[in-house]
Amino acid sequence: MDDAAREVFVSPVVVVSHAFPARPGSIPDAEQFVREALDPVTLEPEENRALYDAITTALLAAAGPKDGVFDVTVRIFPDGVEVEVLHGAGVRRVQPASEPFADWLNGVLRGQGLSQQAAAQRIGVSVRTISRWLRGDTEPRLRDLRRVHEIFGP
């Protein structure tokens, strides 16, 4: 074997990974995790949609068991990035989300100066539902969460 056949190419790779609870309230956290991992690179709108679809698909696949999780892994190579979203093995290995949906929604409504009634009308749900979300009693169904993100952003 000559020296040319024995050459080794070493490439730096950064890998960050995080597991999230399989619940709709984890979608904003997972999207934020990817954005922070890729910073300063930003995703194109179609890439954002593909990421959202991958996250919701993994979330739905992992949903059901009390301890269901999905994993998001970002690999950064010198010539590109790779984002992988997989549903987890079912053993919860994560801490609770850093910002519960209720806190996030309270901040959004306060920031936009919206009442519960105005938010309910914009989203298409009852004021009682908004109130439950804001107290943290319940979280939105995936369909409602998509509407919340369309209206208020991720």
Domain with 118 in it: what CATH number? 1.10.260.40
Tell whether the model's pLDDT for residue 3 goes beyond 50: yes
One domain, residues 87 and 47: yes
One domain, residues 113 and 87: no
pLDDT tens for 59-108 read: 777 766 556 777 888 887 777 777 777 766 444 444 544 567 788 888 88
Q: Which domain holds residue 17?
A: 13-93
* Cα gap 105→99, rounded to integer Å: 10
Query: Which residue has tokens 């979280």?
Result: 139
Q: Which residue has the higher pLDDT, 126 or 4?
A: 126
Q: What are the residues whose beta carbons fall under 8 Å from the beta carbon of 27, sequence distance 6 or more?
A: 52, 55, 56, 59, 145, 149, 154
| CB neighbours of residue 93 within 10 Å | 11
One domain, residues 24 and 76: yes
Q: What are the residues whose beta carbons fall under 8 Å from the beta carbon of 68, sequence distance 6 or more?
A: 21, 22, 62, 87, 88, 90, 92
Asked if residue 4 is part of any domain, the answer here is no
Domain with 58 in it: what CATH number? 3.30.565.10
DSSP conformation class of 16: E
One domain, residues 78 and 133: no
The torsion of the CA quartet 28, 29, 30, 36, rounded to 10 degrees, works out to 110
Q: What is the tally of structural domains in the chain? A: 2
Domain boundary among 93, 111, 145: 93
DSSP conformation class of 39: T
pLDDT tens for 21-74 read: 877 778 888 888 888 888 777 778 888 788 788 877 777 777 665 567 778 888
In this prediction, residue 66 carries a pLDDT of 58
Asked if residue 142 is part of any domain, the answer here is yes
One domain, residues 18 and 80: yes
One domain, residues 59 and 128: no
Asked if residue 6 is part of any domain, the answer here is no
